[in-house]
Structure 1
């Protein structure tokens, strides 16, 4: 069963790029849309007032009809950080999110909502702070452990439909332990596809898939801090979409102390990000 889209909004105008991108995504890949509107802080005294959801729903319906996509509208009351993960668990979806417009003091005290969503939602997440369409350039981060496979698979479908150029990126981080595989990667970081290492094999396989689909594809490598180098590549390459695996692809203890790279990237760029946990099959 191919997943449909669950596009979410709390009426905040900055969620509109996610709706716009989701409509394009659904039309391009032939998916159905469920638009979830979350009514937050509903004041009984203002029951007859025009709610921001009404305007954004009206715009969305017009857009969905224009794109010829099948859609369903749902409205739930509550806190978006609670309602969205709960609704996501009720079906097989790709979740499309945008910034929820939280006050700066709340972001400082609790962190950004996207970080929490990545922890709570098992399904693929498409986070869209800015709609960069048409889709011409996709950046796929390859870590070498296979956690990016699900995100990579979705990205390749998007690339085929839009004929987007694909860049496969691996970051070689500072290495503290000197063991054979790490040494090979460090010494051959500019030609990783020629190495018999996990990342070398992952890059070759992804490159073969892309070229087998008739796509223009490249391999790039950078050295340094993973978050800083990915953000620098996004800026230098002017990409329209970033695709990454999720640290929650693994149940290893490492995710308890290692930084959530995907969340940190999402907080540092306006480029749309597709993140997905690895799943067998």
Structure 2
């Protein structure tokens, strides 16, 4: 039985090319999972999208991947939310390649709206970075990252890719014992008896059970800087991130959305999924 989610590939007719379609088609062939193409008509002709959607559907059917094409009008996010209501387990594949760069950094931009609205996985595509050889998951060492870690592990298993779990230890800002212990032993974090170490060991165990080659990389410094430095130096094809929207506490409103900031800064595909509220802290 395939335990990987079906794909909802969202496309806009006013784009000159369709990175989400190219990537989603390759991913569906790899994962052998059903596909729904959501084509949203914008101003101007939709003939290019119609042609490319039909071509992709034919290519998927030729390898026995179930596919359907749906058309919608107007706002892409609203159209996506309507479709997700019908297939809540689906992984959304979407591209912001042609959105102005400044919009990627807007606090209430499209990516953050989708993060806030969806509990299912979101795969944001700009550059294809295909095939999958090297996947990184940025783990906070806390349970809310578990869904994206598990999904990335299953994808790595199917692709035969290597998997890295990255944990960043920040400089100590608060005076409490756990933070001091992690900070003092960050170079040997897995040898400590801390929640973060236990979580990372569980992630490694799950990867091993699935036959995936996996490792943990621990860095020390400012979270965003260290994540971006590792991504840019590591040659990764896919980046997995947890979501601050996993948290229901008020503190979420006052801390930076690292996932959205990383998404704005890197062009390789980025996978994110919200954890359950009871695991968010």
For residue 196 of structure 1, give the secondary structure of its aligned residue in structure 2. Answer: coil
Alignment of 1:63-74 (within 5 A): 63-74=59-70
Shift of 1:101: 2.4
For residue 205 of structure 1, give the secondary structure of its aligned residue in structure 2. Answer: helix
- The question of whether the paired residues in 2 share the 8 Å contact of 1:171 and 1:221 is answered with yes
Structure 2 gap segments, 5+ residues each: none
Alignment partner, residue 156 of structure 2: 159
Shift of 1:121: 2.1
Matched, 1:80 2:76: yes
- Cα deviations across residues 123-161 of structure 1 (Å, max 9, x unaligned)? 110111111111111101121221111111111111111
For residue 9 of structure 2, give the secondary structure of its aligned residue in structure 1. Answer: strand
Q: Distance in 2 between matches of 1:108 and 1:182?
A: 30
Alignment partner, residue 45 of structure 1: none
Alignment partner, residue 191 of structure 1: 188
- Cα deviations across residues 31-70 of structure 1 (Å, max 9, x unaligned)? 100000011236xxxxxx5533223313322442354311
Q: Distance in 2 between matches of 1:193 and 1:38?
A: 47
Alignment partner, residue 209 of structure 2: 212
Alignment partner, residue 57 of structure 2: 61
Distance 1:236 1:262, change over 3 A: same
Alignment of 1:1-281 (within 5 A): 3-13=5-15, 16-41=18-43, 51-92=47-88, 93-99=90-96, 101-103=98-100, 112-279=109-276
Q: Distance in 2 between matches of 1:109 and 1:150?
A: 26
Distance 1:64 1:261, change over 3 A: same
Cα RMSD (Å): 2.3
Structure 1 gap segments, 5+ residues each: 43-48
Shift of 1:107: 6.0
Q: Distance in 1 between matches of 2:188 and 2:16?
A: 41
Q: Distance in 2 between matches of 1:217 and 1:110?
A: 34
- The question of whether the paired residues in 1 share the 8 Å contact of 2:14 and 2:43 is answered with no
For residue 178 of structure 1, give the secondary structure of its aligned residue in structure 2. Answer: coil
Calculate the TM-score normalised by the size of structure 2.
0.89
- The question of whether the paired residues in 2 share the 8 Å contact of 1:4 and 1:94 is answered with yes
Q: Distance in 1 between matches of 2:259 and 2:270?
A: 8
Q: Distance in 2 between matches of 1:200 and 1:125?
A: 27
Shift of 1:88: 1.8
Moved more, 97-106 or 23-32: 97-106
Distance 1:256 1:14, change over 3 A: farther
